[in-house]
Structure 1
Amino acid sequence: MNTPRDRARPLRIIVIGGGVGGLSLAQGLRRAGVDDVVVYERDDSPRGRMQGYRLRISPEGERALRECLPHRAQDLLTATSNVRHEQGLAAYDERLTPQWAPEFDDSRGDAPDKVDAVDRVTLRRILLAGLDGVVRFGERFTHFERAGGKVVAHFAGGGSDTGDVLVAADGANSQVRAQSRPAYRALDLGVRAILSRTPRAGAIEAGLPEVLRDRFVNVTGSNGLRLALMPMVFRTPPRKAAERLWPGLEFDETEDYYMSVFSVHRDVLRLPDSAFFAMTGEELRDLVLERTTDWHPDLRGVFAHAEAAETYPLALRVTTPVEPWEPGDVIPLGDAAHTMPPTGGVGANTALRDAASLCRALASVTRGERSLPDAVAEYQREMVKYATEATEMSLKIAKWSMRKIDLTEGNLPRT
């Protein structure tokens, strides 16, 4: 009778995309003893493009990170996470008149080691720690093919790699998905956003009221504009935390800041996408100031101190319905499978859940406990369920905060 050891199947796993989901998967696989994994990232370096700023970490996302990361990285994650002074979300109009806001439960309560939010650049550096030789930067995936029972990934410049599994962790514009499921696309919600970062000290100096300083704030203007303001106050500055917990691991100098997301429907914006997405950071900051001339001066002071070099345009998109891919050797993860608007703060958390779940599935295959198709099918059944719930929640919050959007069932874009 065959034992699991007899049925064990070594796997070479190729991950396309070195974002939060792809790197978490690589960390989890290595922690599970699956060493033959490689991550291909199109950027030339970890700072090759705007990765976003502050990330909310949900209870599910924190569990997934702790499942994937080695203990030393977990300690560093906790040490550099956001200091949470207030609970919940505060909602106002543009004159700072309090409004109704939804409430969110958090099963972690006030746990001292709770990871409530993280700086995305810091998180990515933690996720890269210990993956020397695993992550290969400057490799742009072009297409895959199957040969001899294997999957072959091809890259610009003529390089290729052959493995047993190809994971599509390459985001909302996934090139793997474009080949595997060309009709399955993330669709435009019509909302345009401006992401920016403002040093916390500058915002406070500009007159940000004390009640807004240490909590998630949503401001909805009567002219169809919306501002989300989120603090990132490090428990310990990343460099100082690394000196204590991981000597030799390098971090950039950083300071506490606010992440702001200024959003408006394109019909209200009244700018063609060609002009909007061509704007510089300074032009985008000036656009926000011009569109908020009648807002409370304490809010406008925050905009004036936004860093132009850290200000970017964004289109909000969604994948609906979330559907599984054919079970096999090409597997979706994160935005490649379920793009969702950032309004719910759960997109990255859903990718983290994917990483932990897929890690368990692939590790079970290497131990001979399940076949690859069965393990992938089970992973996708679970993923479709929680990703659908996350997408629906994000759309509901988008409807609440952006009243220009009609997100009723009959008006949702369909794939």
Structure 2
Amino acid sequence: MSGPLRVLVIGAGPGGLCLAHALRREGVDVAVYERDASAHGRQQGYRLRVSPDGEQALRDCLPERNIGLLAATAGSWRDHEIAAYDEHLEAQWAPPLGDPRPDSAELISNVDRITLRQVLLGGLEDTVRFGKRFTGLEHDHGRVTAHFADGTSDTGDVLVAADGSRSRVRAVVRPGDEPRDLGVRTVFARIPRERAHAGGLAEVLQDRFTYVIGKQGHLGLMPMIFRTRPDVAGHTWPELRLEPAEDYYLGVFNIHREDLSISDSALHALSGTALRDLVLEHTANWHPALSEVFHHAEADSTFLAPLRVVPEVQPWEPGPVIGLGDAIHAMPPSGGVGANAAVQDARTLAAELTALARGELGLTDAVERYQREMAGYAGASVELSLRIARWSMKKLDLDEPDGGAR
């Protein structure tokens, strides 16, 4: 490099923020641009499973203070195994999760996604710019300039696309290279644990990672039991202002669009209350202990998302625009591996960009080395997520002879 390396990151999700921390620690100049107006700008999903590899990547990227607060607010209940049932509450076979980590007060095995984002923002107050919607980029004399909807721009040596499965950066540099739509529509909801128990949630569903595989739908129920409530643990770092949160279940209902009686456009227009009612309608004939689970969901935090996947991780042209996380290897949330792959990306890419900044590698070599390693673990993650999706859903558009709709 002829001067200090400057890295632009588009997207302040777990991967982008972990990358920023790792680069800052090595003295690399980095700026993160996020389209949300603030850290509280939109629904980000809820509980995330953290795999052993994901936990190690977090520890490798983050300062000790952030790790300490993340461990304090992590889930106290570990996903030892999946319990599976049919809609009549008859036990079914389920693939083992497997987790060799011993329980401890420092273990990070599941986290609340909103809390995770707030903790990851700690120490990056001068690095993350909110309200910046990426609109395009241009190259000039070996540098790359990002443009934003508010008329501003920034120039760096490297631009990292960490802006998710609907990446605007990818749309610019690899038009048409979109994740495939699996045809599955997912309703996510937060179900307060106390409310669900008071409402008669079956004891067999209260303390485990549960999948219910019905003939036309699949319901997942995962407990998020905070080790310490975020607003209480956050007293050690008051500037972060962690949001209060009570224990809850992440409720997930998957259904193929062919099994719905409304159009896709109408489905996406439904309110949280209407989505909750939709789930109740499709589970009305299930066992009573199952059919009422979504009755306790918070309507204002219930939202819809389509399942998408990149069936095979393809490297991008090795240059100054680099894909990270779902922007390059989108996968369904089954198995909870997507965010883990993203933070592994952050660790891997940070090491290569640090070598670039020190003059130990050229840009092409640094990107090729990152993409080669990333393709290995990300490809395995995609395969795992699809295997679990096929086990639970039985019908995915990816399995159609024509490859499925994009």
Residue equivalent to 2:60: 67
Could you say if the C-alpha distance between residues 292 and 124 of structure 1 is closer, same or farther in structure 2, counting changes exceeding 3 Å? Answer: same
Residue equivalent to 1:189: 182
Q: Are the aligned partners of 1:8 and 1:366 in contact in 2 as well (CA < 8 Å)?
A: no
The worse-fitting range, judged by mean Cα deviation, of 313-322 and 117-126 is: 313-322
Would you say 1:286 and 2:280 are equivalent positions?
no
- For the residue of structure 1 that corresponds to 2:231, the secondary structure is helix
Could you say if the C-alpha distance between residues 70 and 307 of structure 1 is closer, same or farther in structure 2, counting changes exceeding 3 Å? Answer: same
Q: How much does 1:414 deviate?
A: 8.9
- For the residue of structure 2 that corresponds to 1:248, the secondary structure is helix
Would you say 1:12 and 2:6 are equivalent positions?
yes
For 1:86-117, what per-residue CA distance to the aligned partner results, in whole angstroms no more than 9, with x for missing partners? Answer: 62110011121111111122132434422110
Residue equivalent to 1:113: 106
Q: How much does 1:386 deviate?
A: 1.2
Match of 1:39 among 32, 37, 41: 32
Q: Are the aligned partners of 1:206 and 1:298 in contact in 2 as well (CA < 8 Å)?
A: no
Give unmatched runs, 5+ long, in structure 1: 1-6
Q: Which amino acid aligns with 1:10?
A: P
Q: How much does 1:140 deviate?
A: 0.8
- For the residue of structure 2 that corresponds to 1:337, the secondary structure is helix
Residue equivalent to 2:158: 165
1:133 and 1:64 map into 2 onto residues whose CA distance is 23
Q: How much does 1:246 deviate?
A: 2.4
Q: Are the aligned partners of 1:395 and 1:407 in contact in 2 as well (CA < 8 Å)?
A: no
Aligned ranges 1:297-336 → 2 under 5 Å: 297-336=288-327
For 1:267-325, what per-residue CA distance to the aligned partner results, in whole angstroms no more than 9, with x for missing partners? Answer: 11232111100000000111111111111222233211100000001100111221001
Q: Are the aligned partners of 2:185 and 2:307 in contact in 1 as well (CA < 8 Å)?
A: yes
Q: How much does 1:50 deviate?
A: 1.1
Q: Which amino acid aligns with 1:174?
A: S
Residue equivalent to 1:231: 223
Q: How much does 1:331 deviate?
A: 0.5
TM-score calculated relative to the size of structure 2: 0.96
1:85 and 1:123 map into 2 onto residues whose CA distance is 17
- For the residue of structure 1 that corresponds to 2:339, the secondary structure is helix
Q: Are the aligned partners of 1:320 and 1:414 in contact in 2 as well (CA < 8 Å)?
A: no
- For the residue of structure 2 that corresponds to 1:208, the secondary structure is coil
1:86 and 1:184 map into 2 onto residues whose CA distance is 34
2:386 and 2:3 map into 1 onto residues whose CA distance is 41
Q: Tell me the C-alpha RMSD between the 2 structures.
A: 1.7
Count of aligned positions? 406
- For the residue of structure 2 that corresponds to 1:167, the secondary structure is strand
Residue equivalent to 1:4: none
Q: Are the aligned partners of 2:71 and 2:105 in contact in 1 as well (CA < 8 Å)?
A: no
Residue equivalent to 2:139: 146
Q: Are the aligned partners of 1:8 and 1:369 in contact in 2 as well (CA < 8 Å)?
A: no
- For the residue of structure 1 that corresponds to 2:239, the secondary structure is coil
1:100 and 1:15 map into 2 onto residues whose CA distance is 42
Residue equivalent to 1:372: 363
Residue equivalent to 1:248: 239
Would you say 1:25 and 2:19 are equivalent positions?
yes
1:289 and 1:409 map into 2 onto residues whose CA distance is 29
Q: How much does 1:211 deviate?
A: 2.4
The worse-fitting range, judged by mean Cα deviation, of 77-86 and 138-147 is: 77-86
Tell me the percent identity: 55
Q: Are the aligned partners of 2:224 and 2:248 in contact in 1 as well (CA < 8 Å)?
A: yes
Q: Are the aligned partners of 1:18 and 1:169 in contact in 2 as well (CA < 8 Å)?
A: yes
Would you say 1:51 and 2:41 are equivalent positions?
no
Q: How much does 1:393 deviate?
A: 1.0
Could you say if the C-alpha distance between residues 377 and 414 of structure 1 is closer, same or farther in structure 2, counting changes exceeding 3 Å? Answer: farther
Q: Are the aligned partners of 1:334 and 1:348 in contact in 2 as well (CA < 8 Å)?
A: yes
Give unmatched runs, 5+ long, in structure 2: none
Q: Are the aligned partners of 2:78 and 2:110 in contact in 1 as well (CA < 8 Å)?
A: no
Could you say if the C-alpha distance between residues 95 and 147 of structure 1 is closer, same or farther in structure 2, counting changes exceeding 3 Å? Answer: same
Q: How much does 1:204 deviate?
A: 0.7
Aligned ranges 1:70-149 → 2 under 5 Å: 70-84=63-77, 87-149=80-142
Q: How much does 1:144 deviate?
A: 0.5
Aligned ranges 1:403-414 → 2 under 5 Å: 403-405=394-396, 408=399, 412-413=403-404
Residue equivalent to 1:269: 260
- For the residue of structure 2 that corresponds to 1:344, the secondary structure is coil
